């Protein structure tokens, strides 16, 4: 399962990519595996999700 190992930098890249595009199966599995063992990256993932949600709400507000 070495091919699923990702560094924090690679995980951050995948989290950013996930905000805009669909990840491949291998990317999703690798990210899930990394998030399960890393202490910092799950926090970053929540921050990315929060920002994505906030931008979506802002766009909706400005269009009304």
Q: Name the one residue in this structure whose structure tokens are 């709400």.
A: 57
Supply the pLDDT for residue 21.
94
Supply the pLDDT for residue 25.
96
pLDDT tens per residue, range 6-27: 999 999 999 999 988 999 999 9
Supply the pLDDT for residue 51.
93
Residue spans of the domains in the chain: they are 2-63
Supply the pLDDT for residue 19.
87
Q: Which residue from 44, 33, 37, 36 is spatially nearest to 9, judged by alpha carbons?
A: 44
* Section 28-34 average pLDDT: 96
- What does the alpha-carbon distance between residue 25 and residue 8 come to, in Å, rounded to a whole number? 19
């Amino acid at each position: 399962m070495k091919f699923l190992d990702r560094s924090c930098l690679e995980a951050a890249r995948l989290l950013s990519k996930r905000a805009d595009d669909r990840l491949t199966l291998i990317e999703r599995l690798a990210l899930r595996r990394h998030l399960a063992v890393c202490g910092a990256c799950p926090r970053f993932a929540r921050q990315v999700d929060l920002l994505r949600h906030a931008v979506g709400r802002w766009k909706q507000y400005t269009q009304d």
